[in-house]
């Protein structure tokens, strides 16, 4: 295998263990499915390749480290962080209203 420079993206949900303890298994599954969908749409929009989802974590990358690639990675991070503020899905509204839970993702580039 040949090595190539890449820009790496890792995001996970802050306090997810505590969140999952407060919700039913069905609510946890629905919440994760929605978050995965947000990650998928946003990261692909900014040209990332998603390597895998690991529990409440997503690992993605862009080939290269040029300035335009890094700009895309930062824009993807900003969009993913902003997605929760705009979330109107039934599951997120339910957990926000009934359990006062708002997802907060931490991102490393």
All structural domains of the chain with their residue ranges: 6-108
**C-alpha closest to that of 63 among 74, 47, 79:** 47
Kindly report, residue by residue over 10-26, the tens digit of the pLDDT.
999 999 999 999 999 99
Confidence of residue 68 (pLDDT cuts 50, 70, 90): very high
The CATH topology of domain 6-108 is Alpha-Beta Plaits (3.30.70)
- Number of Cα atoms under 13 Å in the Cβ half of residue 43: 24
Count other C-beta atoms under 10 Å from residue 65's C-beta: 13
Residue with tokens 């335009």: 68
Can you give the pLDDT at residue 73?
98
Cα–Cα distance for residue pair 79/38, rounded to 1 Å: 10
Can you give the pLDDT at residue 67?
97
Percent of the chain's residues with pLDDT above 90: 69
Kindly report, residue by residue over 84-109, the tens digit of the pLDDT.
777 777 788 888 888 888 888 999 99
Count other C-beta atoms under 10 Å from residue 91's C-beta: 19
- Is the pTM higher than 0.95? The answer reads no
Cα–Cα distance for residue pair 5/64, rounded to 1 Å: 5
Integer distance in angstroms from the first to the last C-alpha of the chain?
Answer: 23
Q: Pull the structure tokens for residue 76.
A: 């993807």
């Amino acid at each position: 295998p040949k090595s190539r420079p890449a820009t790496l993206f890792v995001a996970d949900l802050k306090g997810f263990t505590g969140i999952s303890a407060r919700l039913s298994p069905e609510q946890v599954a629905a919440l994760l499915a929605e978050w995965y969908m947000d990650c998928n749409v946003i990261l692909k929009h900014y040209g990332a390749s998603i390597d895998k989802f690991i529990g409440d974590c997503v690992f993605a990358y862009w080939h290269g480290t040029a300035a335009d690639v890094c700009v895309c990675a930062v824009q993807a991070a900003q969009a993913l962080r902003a997605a929760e503020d705009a979330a109107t899905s039934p599951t997120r509204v339910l957990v926000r209203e009934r359990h006062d839970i708002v997802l907060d993702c931490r991102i490393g580039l």
